[in-house]
Structures are given as C-alpha cells and as structure tokens.
C-alpha cells in the first residue's frame, strides 16, 4: 500500500474496490473517499478552537451530538465516490440528488451494451391499492413468470431494433431513442457525507422504490463499515 499522510479508515480501506452485485446487472463499488469519522469531529472542534478530548469516545459523543442537533456542515468534510451500474429508471431517481457530482456512460460516444434489468420472479409486484406511487404485494408465481418473460422479450426486441438502426447507419445518439428505461447505465458518483445521509433518509424509506432502496442499502452498509461513528449517530436520530 502507498504511504499516505491522510487520515484513513481501516473499514473504508477494506471496502475500496469491492464490487457488490445486485439485481440483473447492477453493481456498486466504493472507488475513493476523503475523510474519516475523526475528520468530522476535528472540523467541529474548530468552532471552539479547542483540540482536547480527542479520544475515540469523545469523537463518538461529539459526532452523535452534532447529527442530533443538525450541526451538519462538519459532515460535509467527508466525501465518498462510488461507481454505480444501475438501470435508467433507477438513475432517474438517483440523479435527482443534486448535491452529488457525477459522470455517466455516454451512449453518444460508445454503443450501449446489451444489459437490461428484469425483476426476478419473486419480485414482480402489483400496484398498491393505497399509495399511487408504490407497489403492493408480490404477484402470484404464474403471473410473475409471465410478466418477467414479457419484460425480457421486450428488452431483447428493443436491443435488436437498436442494433438494426446502427446497422443501417443511424448515429448512436439517435439509435438509442428505442432503448427502454430498463437499460443499464453506469456512473461515477461523488457525494459528501451530509448529503449521502440525506439520500439514505429518502431512499431507504419504505415509500422509496424497492430497486433504489437496494442500491441505498449497499451504500449504507459501506458507510456502516467505513464510518461507524457517523452511522451510529445517523441511526440513533433517524
Ligand atoms: C418517495 C419519493 C417520491 C418522489 N416522487 C417524485 C415525483 O413524483 N416527481 C418528481 O419530480 N420527483 C420526485 N421525487 C424526487 C424529490 O422531489 C427530490 O427531488 C429528491 O428526493 C431529491 O431530494 P432533495 O432535493 O432533498 O436532494 P438534493 O437535490 O440532494 O438536495 C439536498 C438538499 O439541498 C437543498 N437544495 C438542493 N437544491 C436546492 C434548491 N434548488 N433550492 C433550495 N434548496 C436546495 C435542499 O435542502 C435539499 O433537501 C421523489 C422522491 C422520493 C424520495
């Protein structure tokens, strides 16, 4: 490992480069980070120009109090960068979190790969009867299988049409108009801890779409391992 004078988190170091897989072709990987639990405590101590009490326990208490009191700016001192492969319909929700920075695959520049999302048979859901945005229960197995087959066949046909358009000379930027929102895209996504915790509060909530919850859950487990005091403070005052 390279020598570094930067504060590092042992937990985060272990997470770097691990690729978590989910759904059909989804992936989440922590590719870089800046700052540790103690970066937040140190930043907060700047307020009162005192550096004593730097024990781990003092940091833990301070971080808990900061989050509880919504003294959130010290949490912006920590930054995480993920590589995320996600279907476009999840990306459309993900990209609404404007405080993150991102760079995405360009299907103008390169051909879209044949990677499409389809739900597993046990995860095809009915429309909720009580909430217009949400799913309800799982569909019966035979209907779920039928739905899955329809989705997969549609994905296949859309890709064949895309390929046909490319073959007859249509540009990549125009041929892609036939691709469904189940097509996968990939981003590098960088966000500070304050706004990542805000993302969790919205996207781990039960009214968030289950597919984006699955992505949020993986990122939350990475935060839990790399920044345990922050996770503890966040969990204590949700
Ligand atoms: C369950 C659910 C359902 C949703 N349904 C819809 C929907 O039907 N249609 C739809 O379009 N969107 C929908 N959204 C997206 C939602 O409206 C938000 O855009 C998204 O959740 C991002 O939240 P945010 O703005 O707080 O986050 P971020 O964009 O990350 O912003 C973080 C915080 O920064 C501040 N901020 C950022 N930008 C501004 C600004 N321009 N002005 C003032 N303060 C700012 C705010 O305090 C904000 O909370 C839904 C989200 C959820 C979780």
Q: What is the mean pLDDT of residues 79-87?
A: 98
Tokens describing residue 194:
């304050």
DSSP string, 17-85: T-EEEETTTEEEEEEEEE--HHHHHHHHHGGGT-----SHHHHHHHHHHHHHTT--GGGGG-EEEEEEE
Number of domains the chain is built from: 2
Note whether 141 and 28 are same-domain residues.
Answer: no
- Rounded to the nearest angstrom, the distance between the alpha carbon of 108 and the centre of ligand 1 is 28
Q: Supply the pLDDT for residue 90.
A: 98
Q: Residues 45, 85, 194, 203: which is the catalytic one?
A: 203
26: CATH: 3.30.1360.170
- Rounded to the nearest angstrom, the distance between the alpha carbon of 47 and the centre of ligand 1 is 30
State the burial class of residue 200 (Cβ atoms within 10 Å of its Cβ: 0-12, 13-18, 19+). buried
Locate the ligand 1 atom nearest the alpha carbon of residue 100 and give its number: 30
The whole-model pTM stands at: 0.95
Residue nearest to atom 17 of ligand 1 (CA): 96
Q: Supply the pLDDT for residue 194.
A: 98
Q: What is the mean pLDDT of residues 90-116?
A: 97
What's the Cα-to-Cα distance from 106 to each of 93, 111, 176, 226, rounded to whole Å? 18, 8, 11, 31
Contact assessment for residue 165 and residue 107, using Cβ atoms and an 8 Å cutoff: no
- Tell whether 3 is covered by a domain: no
Note whether 207 and 104 are same-domain residues.
Answer: yes
Note whether 62 and 98 are same-domain residues.
Answer: yes
- Does ligand 1 lie within 6 Å of residue 97's CB atom? yes
Note whether 36 and 95 are same-domain residues.
Answer: yes
Q: Supply the pLDDT for residue 52.
A: 60
What's the Cα-to-Cα distance from 25 to each of 11, 63, 130, rounded to whole Å? 26, 36, 31
Structural domain span for residue 203 = 10-109+184-236
Report the length, in residues, of the chain: 238
Note whether 137 and 194 are same-domain residues.
Answer: no
**Given ligand 1 and candidates 96, 135, 213, which is best to mutate, with the most ligand atoms within 8 Å of its CB?**
96
Locate the ligand 1 atom nearest the alpha carbon of residue 93 and give its number: 15
Is the CA virtual torsion 161, 167, 172, 174 positive or negative? negative
Note whether 35 and 90 are same-domain residues.
Answer: yes
- Tell whether 155 is covered by a domain: yes
Q: What is the mean pLDDT of residues 155-184?
A: 98
Active site (annotated) includes residue 203: yes
Residues near 143 by Cβ (< 8 Å), separated by ≥ 6?
A: 124
- Rounded to the nearest angstrom, the distance between the alpha carbon of 237 and the centre of ligand 1 is 21
Host H or E run for residue 113: none
Tokens describing residue 233:
């403070």
Q: How confident is the model at residue 3 (pLDDT cuts 50, 70, 90)?
A: confident
- Tell whether 131 is covered by a domain: yes
Q: Supply the pLDDT for residue 133.
A: 87
- Tell whether 20 is covered by a domain: yes
- Rounded to the nearest angstrom, the distance between the alpha carbon of 235 and the centre of ligand 1 is 21
Q: Supply the pLDDT for residue 45.
A: 87
Q: What is the mean pLDDT of residues 157-186?
A: 98
Residue 48 has pLDDT above 70, yes or no: no
Note whether 82 and 168 are same-domain residues.
Answer: no
CA angle 55-59-63, nearest 5°? 175
For residue range 184-232, list pLDDT tens digits in order: 999 999 999 999 999 999 999 999 999 999 999 999 999 999 999 999 9
Residue 49 has pLDDT above 80, yes or no: no
Write down the residue that tokens 């870089």 correspond to: 32
């Amino acid at each position: 490992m390279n020598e570094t004078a930067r504060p590092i988190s042992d937990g985060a170091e272990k997470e770097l480069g691990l690729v978590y897989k989910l759904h059909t072709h989804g992936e989440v990987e922590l590719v870089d980070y800046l700052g540790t639990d103690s970066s937040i405590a140190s930043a907060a101590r700047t307020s009162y120009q005192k550096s004593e009490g730097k024990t781990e326990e003092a940091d833990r208490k301070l971080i808990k109090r900061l989050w509880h009191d919504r003294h959130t700016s010290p949490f912006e001192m920590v930054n995480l960068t993920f590589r995320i492969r996600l279907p476009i319909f999840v990306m459309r929700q993900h990209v609404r979190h404007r405080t993150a920075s991102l760079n995405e695959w360009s299907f103008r520049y390169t051909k879209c790969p044949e990677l499409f999302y389809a739900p597993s048979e046990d995860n095809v859901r009915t429309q909720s009867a009580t909430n217009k945005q949400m799913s309800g229960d799982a569909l019966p197995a035979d209907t779920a299988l039928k739905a899955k087959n329809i989705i997969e066949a549609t994905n296949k046909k859309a890709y064949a049409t895309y390929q046909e358009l490319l073959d007859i000379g249509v540009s990549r930027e125009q041929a892609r108009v036939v691709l469904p929102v189940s097509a996968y895209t990939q981003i590098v996504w960088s966000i500070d801890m304050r706004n990542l915790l805000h993302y969790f509060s919205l996207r781990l909530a039960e009214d968030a779409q289950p597919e984006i919850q699955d992505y949020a859950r993986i990122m939350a487990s990475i935060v839990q391992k790399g920044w345990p005091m922050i996770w503890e403070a966040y969990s204590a005052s949700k």
